[in-house]
Amino acid sequence: MLSILFIGEINGKIGRRAVQELLPDLIKEHKPDLVIANADNLAHGNGVSEPTIKEMLAAGIDAFTGGDHCFGNTAYLNLYDSGLPLLRPANYSKSAPGKGQMIIEKSGHKILLASLIGQVFMSADHDSPFHEADNILSNLANKNISAIIIDMHAEATSEKIALGHFLDGKVSAILGTHTHVMTADARISPAGTALITDTGLTGLADGVIGVEKDGIIKTFLTQIKTPHVIPESGHAVLNAVALTINPKTKKAVTLKPITKYINIINSPR
């Protein structure tokens, strides 16, 4: 069996600290062949940076998916063409930096990891993730793939669930990201495709989807936008899913949601 650990969207420094503190024990417990994380808000809630990616690689993460904020840190757009295991959504413009899929070899198996972004309630106009998924799958002939993992970064639960039905039996797992709230619908279809609408947040637990709560409440009370503040310490959460896949059939066997809490007192690293 292939064992895969997928960490929900890492938000800022407090999220990275939570990974550093909690991931070693998760690796001991689940013994994953591959550890994946969504890095859309890795660098203080706005895309990625070279130091934050390298920090998470050192912590034990093997590959990263993206989302609507992946190009937010424009000083580091070159990272997407640098050879790092970092994806942006595959259904972005083909002229955008980077790529939306990669084949990762682990434990003698080839795993296809792809990143997609939704269209419903999202701020930019992207190509259809349904058509892009078809394009990705149509190019896999003779590549001896043992598992296919899709990160579907989308706002609408309906769009993620619809994609699950569209790709049912064609991929090993569709793991939703973007809302920062883990959903209670983790399941495996009879055809062997694992689906969870959202894998949740790795970051500030005592806030509003990873952001300091007082400013968000003030915005709702006054209708005046306030800066989003991501504290570097406090009560943190790591959300993830542990997935096992039969490499002979590409079918998911188990899908287990994980939620771990930790108090981040300071930032020693």
How many angstroms separate the CA atoms of 36 and 53, rounded? Answer: 12
At 67, list the tokens.
């989302």
Active-site residue, 69 included? yes
Of 44, 69, 178, 228, which residue is the catalytic one?
Answer: 69
State which amino acid sits at residue 100: G
Half-sphere exposure of 36 (CA within 13 A, CB side): 32
Catalytic residues: 69
